[in-house]
Amino acid sequence: MSLRTDAAIAVDALEAFAGEALDRHAPVIRQTPMADLHRRLDPGRLIAAGGLTGDALRAFLAAYLDSATRLHHPACMAHQVAVPHPLGAVAALVDAFTNNPMAIYEMGPSAATIEHAVLSWMLGKVGWRPEPLPGTGAGDGGGAHGGPHGGGVLTHGGSLANLTALAAARARMAPRAWEEGTPGNLVIVAPAGCHYSISRAAGILGLGCGAVREAPTDPDGRLDPGRLATFITGLRREGAQVMAVVANACSTAVGLYDPLRAVAGVCRDLGVWLHVDGAHGASALVSPRHRTLLDGVDLADSLVWDAHKMLRTPALCAAVLVRDHRDLDGAFREEASYLFHDKDEPGMDFIHRTVECTKAALGLRLFFSLAAEGERGVAAHVERQTALAAAAAERLRAQSGFTVAVEPQSNIVCFRVDGDDALQLRVRRILTEEGRHYVSSTEFRNRRWLRLALMNPATEIADIEALIAAIERIRSPAPPA
Ligand SMILES: *Cc1c(COP(=O)(O)O)cnc(C)c1O
């Protein structure tokens, strides 16, 4: 049993797995019943007896990968998960093997330095002042760019990142909440189409999910800045205290961006924290062509940006970024004498900024994914997938009996075939059973849509053609010969 021999077995198996997916030989998805899979994988025997190495490892991986969903398959178009850059996966291995929980600098100095570096890169993309390196003398105030510097932390996913950002908002807007509990009149204003992790955060932070008030939007669900100020003053008149406005960049369902500059103007005038949920769409910031979609994001207070969606980084890796680092530094308070004590240290800790205690070297996954081809490589990826979505929407719209929900702004495309909501779900179910195409579905404008998240750089317009053909066969099956 050695790292080299077992990793070589795994690498061989993974390359075969990706290869047969890429050439469309293997199914993209195989919904093996769990009881069958359990029999095939036989985990109980291995747990009891051990011996998972060499040929046993080879056999296990063959069975495991056989029923794994193949993100590398060009017809994998369902969810917003990256097909990781292979070097990103190598980073995950390095992280797993070194296992340096880096939230305390001394426990993982290299990992912490890389996390600091990727956060600084992201802060710079937003237009916020990166955090100075410890020991370089830059303080809180002033500086060449004026105002305090930004700050950030990587978390295990956008949901946890949204919770963290909203905890920071609560600490500023209701500073006594940590000790005394959350005031009963605190509310969050968010579009109905915001990600469910926002209402979960409201539940966890003690506002209650009923405290998420539906912001005025246009018919496509985008925040309407023209009606936002009246809405907020109306809430205040009723005695509510608005803790934060949440904007989508972009929305999960259809991938539309809220007008951030105008929304930020309203929030600034009214003294309300603006949180931008850019879990999926903040990656447009790396593209000179698409970054205008987030115009005004630098006026927000906080931003969430998932690297495991559009930055080709293996899950999980999400950034919480704030314009003023002090907001994030104040998000949590704690007593843990074994971790938190005065010390002279040559680096910086991240532990006070996160829910997590032991925290993986997530920065390394993002760093390897970025540094493999440089930031222009990721920009090209974002641009390619966005262009593919536009082409897919055009092709779908040209098909008789197909309707496209909105002109895509990102790499997400929603469409439906003529018929009721049940038909859309039936189409998706049959596609999934056939295993040659994997799509998702969503509700939008009170109807059910089929949904494509075009994450895979190997997906071509020909794959959209094949999908349309498959849907046509489901819609109107050929009569029996
Ligand atoms: C994907 C997504 C999330 C959730 O992020 P996870 O990393 O899956 O936890 C939150 N908000 C938006 C807008 C998203 O698209």
- pLDDT cut 90: percent of the chain above it: 92
Q: Tokens representing 289?
A: 């062509």
Of the CA atoms within 13 Å of residue 59, those in its CB half-sphere come to 11
| Residue type at position 116 | H
Distance 248 CA to ligand 1 centre (A): 10
How large is the average pLDDT for residues 59-87?
A: 97
Domain segments of the chain as ranges: 3-69, 93-369, 374-475
pLDDT tens-digit series, residues 58-67 = 999 999 999 9
H or E stretch at 18: helix 3-22
Read off the amino acid at residue 346.
P
CA nearest 357: which of 338, 374, 329? 338
Q: Quick one: which H or E segment has residue 416?
A: strand 412-417
**Closest-CA residue to 105 (of 363, 436, 381):** 363
Distances (CA, A) of 86 to 92, 392, 481: 10, 27, 47
Q: Answer yes or no: is the C-beta of 193 below 6 A from any ligand 1 atom.
A: no
- Is 258 a pocket residue for ligand 1 (Cβ < 6 Å)? no
Closest to 458 (Cα-Cα) out of 395, 388, 405:
388
Ligand 1 binding pocket mutation candidate from 280, 297, 320 (most atoms within 8 A of CB):
280
Round to whole Å and give the CA distance between 268 and 237. 18
Q: For 298-343, what is each residue's pLDDT tens digit?
A: 999 999 999 999 999 999 999 999 999 999 999 998 766 666 667 7
Q: pLDDT by residue (tens digit) across 85-130? A: 999 999 999 999 999 999 999 999 999 999 999 999 999 999 999 9
Q: How far apart are CA 153 and CA 189, in angstroms?
A: 24
Report pLDDT for 1: 64
- For residue 463 and ligand 1, the question of a CB distance below 6 A is answered with no
The CATH number fitting domain 93-369, selected from 3.40.50.1860, 3.40.640.10, 3.40.50.720, 3.40.50.880? 3.40.640.10
Give me ligand 1 centre to Cα 311, in Å: 14
Are residues 192 and 246 in contact, defined by beta-carbon separation less than 8 angstroms? no
Cα–ligand 1 centroid distance for 260 (angstroms): 18
Distance from C-alpha of 65 to C-alpha of 32, rounded to nearest angstrom: 12
CA pair distance 101, 359, nearest whole angstrom:
5
Which residue has a Cα nearest atom 12 of ligand 1? 279
CATH number for the domain formed by residue range(s) 374-475:
3.90.1150.170
| First-last CA distance in the chain | 57
Residue 139 has pLDDT above 70, yes or no: no
Ligand 1 centroid to Cα of residue 250, in Å, is: 10
Task: Measure the CA–CA gap between 166 and 317, rounded to whole angstroms.
Answer: 18
Q: Tell me, what amino acid is at 140?
A: D
CB of 439 shorter than 6 A to ligand 1: no
Is the Cβ atom of 280 under 6 angstroms away from ligand 1?
A: yes
The CB of 283 under 6 Å from ligand 1? The reply is no
Q: What type of residue sits at position 278?
A: G
